[in-house]
Amino acid sequence: MRRLFKKGERVRSKIDGKVMEVLRYLRNNLVEVMTFDLESREVRKKQVKEDTLSKAA
């Protein structure tokens, strides 16, 4: 299993451009990430595929 990102690293979604933080790897190519929603001012966690992420500048 390849791991492109480390825990705590900031990544950017290729789909919507949001910056997220990597929480942990779940299984092959599936990553749990945390993002902050500015409109509702809450932290959200979701699971995305590793292929849809790139390193944030």
Mean pLDDT (whole number) for 22-38? 92
Residue 4 lies in a domain: no
Share of the chain above pLDDT 90, in %: 77
Q: Are 26 and 32 in contact (CB under 8 A)?
A: yes
pLDDT of residue 34: 96
Residue 1 lies in a domain: no
Whether 1 shows a pLDDT value over 70: the answer reads no
Residue 39 lies in a domain: yes
Residue 32 lies in a domain: yes
Estimate to the nearest angstrom the gap between the alpha carbon of 30 and the chain centroid: 10
Question: For the chain, what is the domain count?
Answer: 1
37 pLDDT band, cuts 50/70/90, is: confident
pLDDT of residue 12: 95
| Domain span at 28 | 10-55
Whether 47 shows a pLDDT value over 90: the answer reads yes
Residue 2 lies in a domain: no
Mean pLDDT (whole number) for 40-57? 92
Residue 3 lies in a domain: no
Buried b / exposed e over 13-36, threshold 16 CB at 10 Å, is beeeeeebbbeebeeeeebebebe
